[in-house]
């Protein structure tokens, strides 16, 4: 249906209409409990962008959502619904943490970073490639296998930390803290423009996430493999008829998707907590689905969609503090409404908009 509408409508107007609808419904919810929705929006914006520390937290959450959004988007291009970003981020975080634990006494952060990227991406890729192989070879549904792998990854992480990585005598399920030389640098170079940002967890992972966006764009739209992925995603039968190895496309696409989700582990593990801990993804894998849908699986729009959800996460914390009647559960409802309209109901307005454009073309013709 993309060919029926101009790009600015498909990538701009439709997501905007969905977003405005979500906020209108959320505003009605706020009104129903006796609070001012305009004031609530002001608190959200101030909490996300009004001071340096808030901006830093917004970028921190945005970084997670960029990685998981890209992971889902890459799989979407091959008609695969990878909802295993949570599990792949778990394993990716494990790979990042193992690199830091092995090398933090011998190398500085810039020497550890390439190894952390390699292990984090590899662990995530392997974890996602298994469902890809099961689908390509045995027809096992990717949605079922990836969501089951989320539960397996959580249990596996719990076992590995408790049995091999946990500090003796420490009740917390986490590894030892990395040496400070292994910590990912904060975004201190923005301190002059935004005082206080260096006190937030925002770190170099944000720049790596933007580089990953460029990588995905080149991969999908500027390489032979990306062309094969898009052909397979549009019509698997035509791809097979054209001589494209569908097994190779599915497995490699899922592996790349998992690698991107695994790289999310850089942000919380090496950039924030500086240890391996249990809840590495913090639901970012599931938010990444809405980010990919809202961003139409394009890296540029994924950045903006991730920023929106980062704003809601950080601004929502400020809102709950400033307006106690709006509890944290209410913030989750608002976020859920955005996910509902931007994700599950992303095509709600498309028939009406398409009809309006068709009537316009008929009148002009």
What pLDDT, in 10s, does the model give residues 208-245?
Answer: 999 999 999 999 999 999 999 999 999 999 999 999 99
pLDDT of residue 2: 44
168: pLDDT strictly greater than 50: yes
Q: What token pair was written down for 23? A: 């906020």
Burial 106-127 (b: 16+ CB within 10 A, else e): ebebeebbebbbebbbbbbbbb
Q: Which residue has the tokens 């996460």?
A: 313
- Is 110 in contact with 288 (CB distance < 8 Å)? no
Average pLDDT, the chain: 91
C-alpha to C-alpha distance for 144 and 306, rounded to whole angstroms: 25
Q: For the chain, report the end-to-end CA distance as a whole number of angstroms.
A: 21
Stated pTM of the model: 0.93
Nearest to 91 by CA among 280, 230, 272: 280
| 1 or 352, higher pLDDT | 352
Least confident span in 50-64, 114-128, 283-297: 283-297
Q: 10 with 291: CB under 8 angstroms?
A: no
3-state secondary structure of 203: strand
Cα–Cα distances in Å, from 248 out to 77, 238, 252, 297, 365? 14, 15, 6, 21, 47
User: In the structure, how many helices (H) and strands (E) does the chain have?
Assistant: 15, 0
Determine the Cα–Cα distance for residues 209 and 266; give it in Å rounded to an integer. Answer: 10
Q: What is the distance between the alpha carbons of residues 334 and 316, in angstroms, rounded to a whole number?
A: 9
Coarse DSSP helix, strand, coil percentages of the chain, rounded to the nearest 5 percent = 75, 0, 25
d(CA 116, CA 268) in angstroms, rounded, equals 13
Tokens 């923005």 correspond to 190
pLDDT in tens, 258-293: 999 999 999 999 999 999 999 999 999 999 998 998
- Residue 166 pLDDT greater than 60, yes or no: yes
- pLDDT surpasses 80 at 358: no
Q: Alpha helices, DSSP H only, in 196-280?
A: 205-222, 224-234, 236-241, 246-263
């Amino acid at each position: 249906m993309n060919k029926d509408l101009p790009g600015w409508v498909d990538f701009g107007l439709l997501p905007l209409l969905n977003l405005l609808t979500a906020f209108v419904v959320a505003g009605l919810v706020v009104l129903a409990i006796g609070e001012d929705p305009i004031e609530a929006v002001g608190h959200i914006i101030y909490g996300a962008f009004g001071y340096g520390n808030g901006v830093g937290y917004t970028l921190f959450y945005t970084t997670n959502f960029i990685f998981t959004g890209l992971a889902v988007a890459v799989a979407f291009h091959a008609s695969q619904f990878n909802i295993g970003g949570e599990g792949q981020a778990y394993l990716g975080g494990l790979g990042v943490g193992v690199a830091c634990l092995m090398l933090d006494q011998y190398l500085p952060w810039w020497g550890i970073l390439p190894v952390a990227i390699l292990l984090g991406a590899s662990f995530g890729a392997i974890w996602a490639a298994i469902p890809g192989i099961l689908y390509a070879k045995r027809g096992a549904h990717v949605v079922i296998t990836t969501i089951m792998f989320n539960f397996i990854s959580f249990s596996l992480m719990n076992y590995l930390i408790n049995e091999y990585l946990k500090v003796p005598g420490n009740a917390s399920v986490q590894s030892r803290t990395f040496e400070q030389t292994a910590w990912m640098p904060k975004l201190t170079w923005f301190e002059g423009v935004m005082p206080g940002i260096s006190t937030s967890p925002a770190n170099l992972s944000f720049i790596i996430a933007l580089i990953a966006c460029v990588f995905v764009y080149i991969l999908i739209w500027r390489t032979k493999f990306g062309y094969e992925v898009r052909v397979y995603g549009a019509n698997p039968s035509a791809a097979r008829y054209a001589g494209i190895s569908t097994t190779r496309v599915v497995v490699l696409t899922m592996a790349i998707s998992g690698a991107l989700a695994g790289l999310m582990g850089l942000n919380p593990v090496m950039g924030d907590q500086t240890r391996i801990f249990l809840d590495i993804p913090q639901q970012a894998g599931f938010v990444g689905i809405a980010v990919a849908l809202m961003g139409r699986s394009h890296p540029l729009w994924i950045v903006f969609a991730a920023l929106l959800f980062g704003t809601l996460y950080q601004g929502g914390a400020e809102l709950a503090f400033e307006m106690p009647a709006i509890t944290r559960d209410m913030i989750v409802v608002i976020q859920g409404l955005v996910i509902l309209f931007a994700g599950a109901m992303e095509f709600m307005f498309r028939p009406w908009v398409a009809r309006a454009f068709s009537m316009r073309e008929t009148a002009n013709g």
